[in-house]
Structures are given as structure tokens and as C-alpha cells.
């Protein structure tokens, strides 16, 4: 949201089927009459490549069920494995091939969950098909892939026995083409070393951190070198060097298997500096730039050394040391022995860089181990501060954890994308005010602001305004002052008191909430939260081991999950997680998931060329520092199977320039399994389409599974930044809900070009909804649904028979053409079991019109009457 005007108070501020016979007749007539020169070419049948080829397996049940029996063409012989998970069967096709189809003929002991994978070397694998709903019998699966080796990798058996296949048949054609050069940077975040450094501010790691503003520089002497450890032997296809002014005139690129013996794979004596992109074919675990002649009197200096590998060349999944994990170069972990000056210097540096950095790729996490600290944490964009205690009170910061809006003259309506979590704060002596002047995607979660005399202000304190935010699982001993904050959602928290209201304030399961009142003041109060789990979080236990705590579901709850009580839930060792560094491709991530790993994404932008497939129940996907996933080629960023209890938390999804039909999908279409006892939940999951550059996605988030919980989400089609325009960052719909029993707590959806939210499932519930319609329809004809002017911000489909929503706000600001009208903010069937409570529409600054609130009910918000309230419908 970019609010163009201050608020009023404070400073009143089934698809139809055709008969097959008729269709067949028409097709036959067309074929008979068509000129022979226009006939379609015959298509060759797929070739069976696997029969009689060498096969191996992870295990065999006995000597009578060998791996070779599954590729012998005899459906009376079979391979069967040991009765354990995982297990695999692979076949060597003898040469690289394009694989188009795999047929699995299962014996009764089949796989419920498995992947089909290809490999060029039999070591590193690419997943080309994945399922958690295997049916057994004969499965014919079309795939798109290439490799010399193909395997079935089973992760969950459907019976108590092992896996058992009569036949594994692989179809395609030999050749397979050349592996493509991956766009991801395999060097980013990997360990780097150098022959020398100019000073402590130019370390080797700075050349592989993904930050174009940091650099490595050497001593002013020849020769010098910089090397990176890629973690395993990789097939290197391109190296990109971004030189600072002090460049290399003569240098070699070298590879090594062990970091000792080096092979020169490319060299030059006429280097010109700038950005050099070198295409090559080489293999090695280590790559280094070996400089022999400088181009200036200074040392060698590189902003970035990027290494690209063949797309099919996926490294093995590295284990995680839970006592000394690699959380990436942009995660800073402090303990009580760290000097205060060191901590404050780091915090100041991050804030200076990130205060106005809305659309840069930099992401940071600042983590404090249990103990007491003195620190002023002033949070800028894409920075997360969090405690590593089991309770917020295990980490106390004497000072501040705050957000100001001085960079915009007090206007906090663009203070997005930052987070404070799992900390307690004691304000300095003589200070009684903390500030959290934010709008969307800036959670204040699992926090404790100590001191009954203190207050936290949700705006910049008298000189600005703000628009939207979340407090959850938080204790404020004193008072929360909302000031000019236009809208806010508080859930399961404990306040000494609350004061303030503008348009849309919602309290749910909050002790110390103000009395219910709407619209003056606009306080929507729901006594309890029907079913929720709090967000998973990283912590360090008493032995020094990093773990992730996954809170249990709570039913009909009030107050926090932790204050004066022991939180219920499950603790997972970080050894059970694959720690994802930027530059790691989706194939590796999916391989980790196939091995039963959870995921921890380190701060940065993670580019994927295929969806991340979360197929296993109870998988945790946790991001640090607002870790961002961006699909580069029009795929989904993540697909979640229709399974129990997946948790995705602290993740941002960024649309790429190639349109994605959907960015995230929870459950495939047609999902119908009940997950009421263990729902999938999404916590602080944010989406962005445009802003840093062109982004496009038809639908942002589709929820097909039943009983999913959304716990604070912002789906945003950018209204400012780069790559922004009606025909540029195109996006039809933010959220589509097809599952039944889905609940959204704190839902923000903005600026989409058709319906913002479409709800097709029954039994849905939304507690707090914030919306802005698109700013930029060029005219009414461009933004019309047939004869209806515009599209509703919240649409409940005509066939829905039960739905509830509380505390909804929808705003318009049609700055491209103020004559544009939205006929209504909410569109829903008129049914006593489809109920809306406490709604507001606003014409921001009187720029544009929302004609009605729900259907044809409610007043008109326009220049003459900018704010309209409606308490109930029907």
C-alpha cells in the first residue's frame, strides 16, 4: 500500500462434454477432405530404452528379486527391496537420452511417495516427476528430462513390505542434447579464500555474497588468487567476473578436485576489466581466478565471481551441522560475549544500507543467542531481528527494536518487509516510547515490550501516518497507541491497554483489547481464535544445538502461547534440515525434500527454474531474513501436496519476468482430503509482482487443500517501483481458495487487475482483510467484468453456502483515471450462512469511486463521502 492521503482521525487525517461419436465423425471428414500436402507428419512411437540394460538398486529383498529383473521384459520376474525408506532402483541407458515416458508395473508392494529422476553421471540427480499419492498397479507417466541414468526413488511405502516392481520401462530417444547452463550462481554463499586481502573490509567472501556493492581486493603484488569451494565436483559452463577499477590484465581460470592440484581451463593476457563472461567446459570442486599481471598499480579487486554449472548437474545434498550451521554470509549471530560496540556497528551498517532499500536484492537476519544485550535495533527493509531463545524473555535487549519513517518525512505507508521476533525489550532509562511505524509485511511477533509505564506507537509519533500491520503472540506490558495507523490486526496477544482507531482495527484472542465498537471507534473484537498454530522459529538449546520449534495447534485460544506457560509443540534438530544457500537450484532442494529433509532458507534471493515440490506431510519450510524465492522461467515457485501439516514460514515469493500461471499452490486441483486435525499453515508468507523490475503471474496463491491456515500474508501487485504499469506487471488475481474449511488470519491483498480474492470453498473464514484496488486502470473499459464496472475486492462464489469474514477494508485510488468506478467492494451470495461483519470502504483523497460495500448494499465512497461503513451483511 502506498497511501496517498492521511487518514481522517488523529489529524483527521464442469466442463461440458461432447459426444465422442460426433467428434470422431467430424475429425474423420476433415482428415478425408484435407489436402495431402497439409497432412500432419506421422509421430514416431516412443522407443523403449531400458530393457536389458544394467540396473542397480539400494537393496534387494533376496537373491530371487534382483534389480535386473525389473528391466528384463518379463512381467513374471520382479525386483523387491528391503522393508525400509528410502529405496531406489536405477537403470543405465548406456548413453545420454531424452526421456519422455516412464512406465512402472508394480507388484502389490508399491510406492505411495516416489520421484522419477535423471542423471548424467549416476551421482547427481534431477527430479522429473514427484508424487505423494502413488496408486500402484501400472503407472504410465509422461516426463520431460534427459540423462544417461534413470531411477525410481521411493520415499514412502504403501505397505509394510519393501518396494516391488515387475518392470521399470523408460522410453525416449538417445542423444538427449547438451545440458543447459544454469542461470543460478553456484558460487554464491560458498566458502571463499584468497592469497591476500587489502584490508578487513574487502574479504574473499565479499566476492561470492551476491552483493554487487561489496568486493574482495588483494595486496598490490603479483601473482594473487581468489578461489571458491563449490561443495562437490561440478560441470562448469560459465564464469562471470565483475571487476572493480583495479582489474586483472593477465589471469587464468583454474579448477581443482582437491584445492591443491590445479588445471588451467581458460586464460588471457589482454583482460579489459568491467564485467567479463567466459564460456567454458570444465569440471572441478574448486574454481579460482589466478591473476599474474594487474591492470593498475593497485591489487586485484572483484565485486563478484559468479560460477554457472550445467542444469542437470545437481550437487549432493550436504548434511547440516546443528551446532555450527552455515546460515549464509548475510546472517549475523551474536552471543553475550560479543562486544556491544561490535553489535551496534553491525546494526548501524545494516540500517544505513537498508533504510530506503525497498527493491534491492539484499536480505539480512540478525540473531541473538540467549542472554542480555545493550543495542538499538533500528530496522530497515529486508532485515529480520530475532532471539534464539525458547522464550522471548530468554533474550533481553536493553535499548530498542524499532521502525521509524524519517526517510519519508514521517510517512510510514511504504515501511514494508521487515520483522521482529522472539525478543524482549527493556527501554533505556528515561525513555517510555517505542516505535513500530510500519505498514504491510512487517510482523511484530512473539515479542515482549517490558514496563507497564511504556507504550509502543504504531506510527511515527505525530508527524506521519501508516497503514497496516500485525502483532501476534506478543505481550505489551504498557499501552499500544495506534495513532494515525489506518488499519491493524492483533491476534493472541496481551496488552496493558490500547488506544486509537482510524478505519479498521481488529483484535482476536487479545487480552487487554478495547471494548467492541464499530464504526466509531472502529474496533472489531473477536474473543477467541478458533484454531491456529504459531509460526515455527529457530532457537538454540541449552547444549548449544540449533533447533526449530514447531508450535502445536491451539483451539479457542486467547493470549500468548508462551507467557507464564510452557509452549506445546515439537522440537526438530537443525540436522534434520537442508540449509538452502542462494544459488542452489530447485533440483537440489527437491532432492533434499525427497530424502526427508526440512528446509531452512538463508537470507537472499533464491532463483528456481522448476517448482519446489513439498510432498511429505509435516515438512517445515522456514526462511531467515525474508528469504525470497523467484521463478525465472514461468513456473510456480512452490507446490505443496495435499498432505497433513506442512508449515511454510518467513518466505517471500517474487514473480519473474516470464508469466507464472500461479506462484504458489497448496494442494493440486481437486484435493478433497480432510486435514482438520493437522492443517497446512502459512506464516508470514509474502508475494510481490513487480517493483524491482517486471514481474508477471496470473494467480499468485491458489489453495486447493482443505483446512489450510493462513497466518499473516500480503499479496502485492506493485503500485510503485520499476517494472510497474497496467500492461507491464500483469496479474489477474491474488488469492484463489478452492478448499473447504480454509481460515485466513490477517490477509492483505492489493492492486490486482481482476478479482483480488476469490473464495470457492465452503466453510471459509477471514479475520481481518485489507485491500486496495488497482491504482492504474487507464479507463473503465479496461477494468470491467462484462457490464459490471470493475471487479470486487473480495468475491465469494455463487455456489458457496457457508462463509464468515470479520473486519474488512477496501480502498480505491484510481490515480490513472479518477472517473473509474468499482461497482462494489464485496460480492457474495445472499445467504444467512455467508456473513460479513464490520466493513469499511474508502475513496482515498476522493480519487475514484466504490459504489457499494456488499453487492448492492452500503453507501458510495467518493470525493463527497470518502469513508463508508457497514456493520453486517446480510
**Catalytic residue set:** 772
Residues 615 and 644: their CA atoms lie apart, in Å, by 10
Residues 649 and 711: their CA atoms lie apart, in Å, by 9
434: DSSP letter: E
Residues 169 and 295: their CA atoms lie apart, in Å, by 58
On whether the CB atoms of residues 649 and 534 are closer than 8 A, the answer is no
Cβ neighbors of 535 (< 8 A, separation 6 or more) are 421, 445, 446, 472, 473, 551, 649, 650, 683, 684, 711
Residues 548 and 620: their CA atoms lie apart, in Å, by 9
- 250 burial (CB, 10 Å; 0-12 / 13-18 / 19+) is middle
Q: How far is CA 521 from the centre of its chain?
A: 36
Handedness of CA 622, 616, 117, 145 (dihedral sign): negative
Q: Three-state DSSP class for 106?
A: strand
- How is residue 605 written as a grid cell? 534471493
- 45-83: burial string, b at 16+ Cβ within 10 Å, e else: ebeebbeeeebbbbbbbeeebbbbbbbbeeeeebbbbee
Measured CA angle at 718 (ends 716, 721), to 5 deg = 145
Handedness of CA 780, 781, 782, 786 (dihedral sign): positive
Residues 590 and 599: their CA atoms lie apart, in Å, by 10
- 159-169: burial string, b at 16+ Cβ within 10 Å, e else: eebbbbbbbbb
429: DSSP letter: T
Cβ neighbors of 384 (< 8 A, separation 6 or more) are 364, 365, 366, 418, 419, 420, 421, 603, 624, 625, 626, 650
Rg (CA), the chain: 29
What residues does 374 pair with on adjacent strands?
398
Cβ neighbors of 564 (< 8 A, separation 6 or more) are none
CA distances from 786 to 171, 779, 789, 791, 865 (A): 48, 14, 8, 10, 27
What phi, psi does 347 have (nearest 5°)? -60, -45
DSSP codes of every residue in 571-636:
EEEGGGEEEEPTT--HHHHHHHHHTT-EEEEPSSEEEESS-EEE-STT-EEEEEEEEEEEESSS--
What residues does 378 pair with on adjacent strands?
402
On whether the CB atoms of residues 188 and 330 are closer than 8 A, the answer is no
- How is residue 855 written as a grid cell? 453487492
- How is residue 574 written as a grid cell? 537443525
What residues does 532 pair with on adjacent strands?
554
Question: Across the chain, how many H-helices and E-strands are there?
Answer: 3, 61
Amino acid at each position: 500500500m502506498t497511501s496517498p492521503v492521511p487518514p481522517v482521525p488523529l489529524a483527521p487525517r464442469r466442463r461440458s462434454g461432447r459426444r465422442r461419436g460426433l467428434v470422431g465423425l467430424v475429425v474423420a471428414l476433415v482428415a478425408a477432405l484435407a489436402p495431402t500436402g497439409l497432412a500432419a507428419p506421422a509421430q514416431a512411437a516412443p522407443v523403449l530404452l531400458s530393457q536389458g540394460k544394467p540396473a542397480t538398486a539400494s537393496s534387494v529383498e533376496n537373491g530371487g528379486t534382483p534389480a535386473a529383473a525389473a528391466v528384463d521384459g518379463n512381467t513374471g520376474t520382479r525386483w523387491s527391496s528391503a522393508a525400509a525408506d528410502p529405496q531406489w532402483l536405477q537403470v543405465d541407458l548406456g548413453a545420454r537420452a531424452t526421456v519422455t515416458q516412464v512406465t512402472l508395473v508394480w507388484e502389490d508392494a508399491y510406492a505411495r511417495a516416489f520421484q522419477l529422476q535423471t542423471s548424467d553421471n549416476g551421482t547427481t540427480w534431477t527430479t522429473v516427476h514427484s508424487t505423494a499419492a502413488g496408486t500402484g498397479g501400472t503407472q504410465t507417466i509422461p516426463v520431460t528430462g534427459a540423462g544417461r541414468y534413470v531411477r525410481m526413488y521411493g520415499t514412502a511405502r504403501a505397505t509394510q513390505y519393501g518396494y516391488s516392481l515387475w518392470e521399470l520401462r523408460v522410453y525416449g530417444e538417445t542423444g538427449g542434447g547438451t545440458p543447459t547452463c544454469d542461470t543460478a550462481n553456484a558460487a554464491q554463499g560458498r566458502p571463499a579464500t584468497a592469497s591476500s586481502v587489502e584490508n578487513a573490509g574487502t574479504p574473499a567472501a565479499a566476492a561470492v555474497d551476491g552483493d554487487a556493492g561489496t568486493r574482495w581486493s588483494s595486496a598490490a603484488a603479483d601473482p594473487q588468487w581468489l578461489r571458491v569451494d563449490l561443495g562437490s565436483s561440478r560441470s562448469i559452463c560459465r564464469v562471470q567476473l565483475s571487476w572493480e577499477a583495479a582489474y586483472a590484465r593477465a589471469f587464468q581460470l583454474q579448477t581443482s578436485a582437491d584445492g591443491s592440484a590445479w588445471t588451467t581451463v581458460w586464460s588471457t593476457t589482454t583482460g579489459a576489466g568491467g564485467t567479463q563472461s567466459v564460456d567454458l567446459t570444465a569440471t572441478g570442486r574448486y574454481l579460482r581466478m589466478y591473476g599474474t599481471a594487474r591492470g593498475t598499480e593497485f591489487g586485484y579487486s572483484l565485486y563478484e565471481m559468479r560460477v554457472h554449472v550445467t542444469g542437470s548437474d545437481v550437487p549432493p545434498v550436504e548434511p547440516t551441522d546443528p551446532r555450527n550451521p552455515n546460515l549464509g554470509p548475510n546472517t549475523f549471530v551474536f552471543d553475550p560475549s560479543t562486544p556491544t560496540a561490535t553489535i551496534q556497528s553491525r546494526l548501524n551498517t545494516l540500517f544505513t544500507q537498508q533504510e530506503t532499500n525497498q527493491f534491492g536484492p539484499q536480505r539480512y537476519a540478525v540473531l541473538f543467542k540467549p542472554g542480555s544485550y545493550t543495542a538499538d535495533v533500528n530496522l530497515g527493509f529486508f532485515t529480520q531481528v530475532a532471539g534464539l531463545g525458547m522464550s522471548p524473555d530468554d533474550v533481553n535487549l536493553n535499548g530498542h527494536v524499532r521502525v521509524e519513517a524519517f526517510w519519508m518525512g514521517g510517512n510510514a505507508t511504504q515501511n514494508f518487509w521487515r520483522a521482529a521476533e522472539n525478543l524482549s525489550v527493556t527501554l533505556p532509562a528515561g525513555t517510555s516510547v517505542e516505535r513500530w511505524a510500519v505498514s504491510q509485511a512487517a510482523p511484530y511477533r512473539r515479542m515482549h515490550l517490558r514496563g507497564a509505564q511504556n507504550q509502543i506507537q504504531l506510527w511515527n509519533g505525530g508527524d506521519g501516518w501508516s497503514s497496516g500491520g500485525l502483532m501476534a503472540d506478543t505481550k505489551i506490558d504498557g499501552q499500544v497507541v495506534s495513532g494515525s495507523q489506518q488499519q491493524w490486526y492483533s491476534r493472541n496477544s496481551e496488552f496493558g491497554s490500547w488506544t486509537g482507531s482510524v478505519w479498521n482495527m481488529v483484535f482476536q484472542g487479545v487480552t487487554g483489547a478495547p471494548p467492541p465498537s464499530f464504526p466509531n471507534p472502529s474496533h472489531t473484537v473477536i474473543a477467541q481464535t478458533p484454531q491456529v498454530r504459531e509460526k515455527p522459529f529457530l532457537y538454540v538449546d541449552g547444549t548449544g544445538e540449533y533447533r526449530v520449534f514447531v508450535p502445536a495447534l491451539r483451539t479457542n485460544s486467547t493470549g500468548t502461547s508462551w507467557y507464564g506457560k510452557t509452549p506445546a509443540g515439537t522440537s526438530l534438530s537443525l540436522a534434520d534440515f537442508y540449509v538452502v544457500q542462494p544459488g542452489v537450484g530447485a533440483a537440489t532442494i527437491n532432492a533434499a525434500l525427497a530424502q526427508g529433509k526440512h528446509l531452512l532458507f538463508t537470507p537472499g534471493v533464491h532463483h528456481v527454474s522448476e517448482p519446489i515440490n513439498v510432498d511429505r506431510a509435516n515438512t517445515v519450510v522456514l526462511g531467515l531474513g525474508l528469504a525470497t524465492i523467484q521463478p525465472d522461467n514461468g513456473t510456480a515457485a512452490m507446490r505443496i501436496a495435499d498432505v497433513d501439516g506442512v508449515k511454510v514460514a518467513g518466505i517471500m515469493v517474487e514473480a519473474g519476468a516470464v508469466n507464472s500461471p500461479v506462484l504458489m499452490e497448496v494442494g493440486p486441483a481437486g484435493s478433497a482430503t480432510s486435514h482438520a486435525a493437522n492443517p497446512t499453515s502459512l506464516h508470514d508468507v509474502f508475494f510481490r509482482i513487480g517493483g524491482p523490475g517486471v514481474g508477471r503471474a496470473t494467480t499468485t496463491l491458489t489453495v486447493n487443500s482443505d483446512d489450510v491456515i493462513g497466518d499473516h500474508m500480503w499479496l502485492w501487485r506493485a503500485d510503485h517501483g520499476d517494472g510497474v504499469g497496467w500492461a507491464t506487471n500483469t496479474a489477474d488475481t491474488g488469492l484463489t481458495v478452492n478448499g473447504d474449511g480454509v481460515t485466513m488470519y490477517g490477509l492483505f491483498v492489493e492492486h490486482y487487475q481482476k478479482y483480488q480474492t476469490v473464495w470457492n470453498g465452503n466453510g471459509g473464514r477471514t479475520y481481518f482483510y485489507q485491500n486496495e484496488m488497482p491504482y492504474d486502470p487507464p479507463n473503465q473499459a479496461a477494468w470491467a467484468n462484462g457490464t459490471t464496472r470493475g471487479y470486487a475486492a473480495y468475491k465469494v462464489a455463487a455456489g458457496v453456502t457457508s462463509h464468515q469474514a470479520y473486519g474488512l477494508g477496501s480502498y480505491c485510488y484510481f490515480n490513472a483515471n479518477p472517473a473509474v468506478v468499482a461497482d462494489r467492494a464485496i460480492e457474495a451470495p445472499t445467504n444467512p450462512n455467508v456473513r460479513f461483519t464490520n466493513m469499511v470502504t474508502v475513496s482515498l483523497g476522493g480519487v475514484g469511486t466504490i459504489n457499494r460495500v456488499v453487492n448492492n448494499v452500503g453507501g458510495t465512497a467518493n470525493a463527497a463521502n470518502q469513508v463508508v461503513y457497514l456493520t453486517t451483511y446480510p
